[in-house]
Amino acid sequence: MVVVLENTIKKWEKYLERTFKELVCKITAKRREQEEKPGPGAKIPVTIITGYLGAGKTTLLNYILTEQHSKRVAVILNEFGEGSAVEKSLAVSQGGELYEEWLELRNGCLCCSVKDNGLRAIENLMQKKGKFDYILLETTGLADPGAVASMFWIDDELGVDIYLDGIITVVDSKYGLKHLTEEKPDGLINEASRQVALADIILINKTDLVSEEDLNKLRTTIRSINGLGKILETQRSRVDLSNVLDLHAFDSLSGISLQKKLQHLPTIQPHLDQSIITVTFEVPGNAKEESLNEFIQNLLWEKNVRNKDDDCMEVIRLKGLVSIKDKPQQVIVQGVYELYDLEETPVSWRDDTERTNRLVLIGRNLDKDILKQLFITTVTETEKQWTTYFKEDQVYL
Ligand SMILES: Nc1nc2c(ncn2[C@@H]2O[C@H](COP(=O)(O)OP(=O)(O)OP(=O)(O)O)[C@@H](O)[C@H]2O)c(=O)[nH]1
Ligand SMILES: [Zn+2]
């Protein structure tokens, strides 16, 4: 009886809390003169914590769980396990108190056996919905966070209840550079670089173990791989939580911050020994939606865009703000491997400024000039083309 009562009270508390949040959200949205739509309602954010073996992922997780905040956080540990049935711990922090439940994940690994097990784990989690309002997922040190991210990002079944908020990659200051520059015999991209390439936030952890000089080297290398992610330096993964949670890195709300970021993106000279780089370019004018899809699909699906050495361009992550013909709003482009999405942001183009397409691509064998030229010739519909056409027309007449 007491338990039932407690549950009822909690439900009411939750309901009131949510109603209040929604109200605040609505007022704020109005204040911003409808520049922003309200957040994704009652959906629960998932933050993926990745990083090489021993970098400090669990330390970060524990730090978030014990740090004072109003969130009740559920944790999924995605570790390789021995045997066929491995139990995963699910910790929920409630008002600073931790309690653990066990979640069965057959065959262990969420990323290799992807969907079935992952979905089951989340379904189990969702049954406990109401107990928590944030999910943190720690991947194994060797995992490819892209596969896990794809599962949360565009999955209709899951999409109802949860959304991918962002990817945090923890890098070990001492061994990070070694891991990032490691060459794999089969010419594949090493795991550490992949994890950095996909990150929205990069935590350079264990800064107590290295000199300022080594730290600088590591920072520069990370920057040259991923020019877009936010880099933070930490000890014991202690970080201001507002920097790592509730980022909305994968939804249209991030369009606002993305625009600012894209305008101030530094040009970074790629390291010669670096296989993954960030390429950014800007093209004024309107994009034809169909051609934009074709451009992206050629890159991500067909993989038929090549650089000067005839190597195939491999895109790991793609972000951009584009101007689609006849659409008053800015459109955000997001891509992780083969998955991509175009979504209108709440921000409209201003009448007094030129419409511009800004793209950021993180990947291998990328050639900025070729990509930009391809975009100009195949995607944009500029005034110039119209003028030329018109002139030719007149000459013809
Ligand atoms: N010196 C130092 N040690 C740290 C720091 N952060 C974490 N550690 C230690 O590094 C070790 C690995 O940390 P974890 O948080 O378990 O790393 P992880 O990434 O979860 O490791 P795996 O799950 O095994 O891949 C632990 O012994 C931590 O106490 C730091 O900032 N400085
Ligand atoms: Zn761990």
**Structure-token pair, residue 279:** 């390429």
pLDDT value at residue 132: 74
Contact present, 172 and 204 (Cβ < 8 Å): no
pLDDT value at residue 112: 38
Q: Which of 52, 53, 57, 59 to mutate to test the pocket of ligand 1 (most atoms within 8 A of CB)?
A: 59
pTM above 0.80, yes or no: no
Q: Which pLDDT score is estimated for 95?
A: 56
Question: Which parts of the chain have pLDDT scores under 50?
Answer: 1-4, 16, 18-40, 80-87, 102-116, 272, 384-397
pLDDT of residue 39: 42
- The answer to whether residues 362 and 222 touch, using CB atoms and an 8 Å cutoff, is no
Q: Which residues surround ligand 2, an ion (CB under 5 A)?
A: 57-58
Ligand 2 centre from 185 Cα, in Å? 27
Contact 153, 200 (CB under 8 A): no
| Six token digits for residue 327 | 């659409």
Give the per-residue pLDDT at 74.
80
Ligand 1 pocket, mutate which of 58, 209, 233 (most atoms under 8 A from CB) = 58
Helical (H) or strand (E) element with 390 = helix 383-396
Q: What ipTM was predicted for this assembly?
A: 0.99
Partners of 341 in the β-ladder: 334
Cβ of 62 closer than 6 Å to ligand 1, yes or no, is no
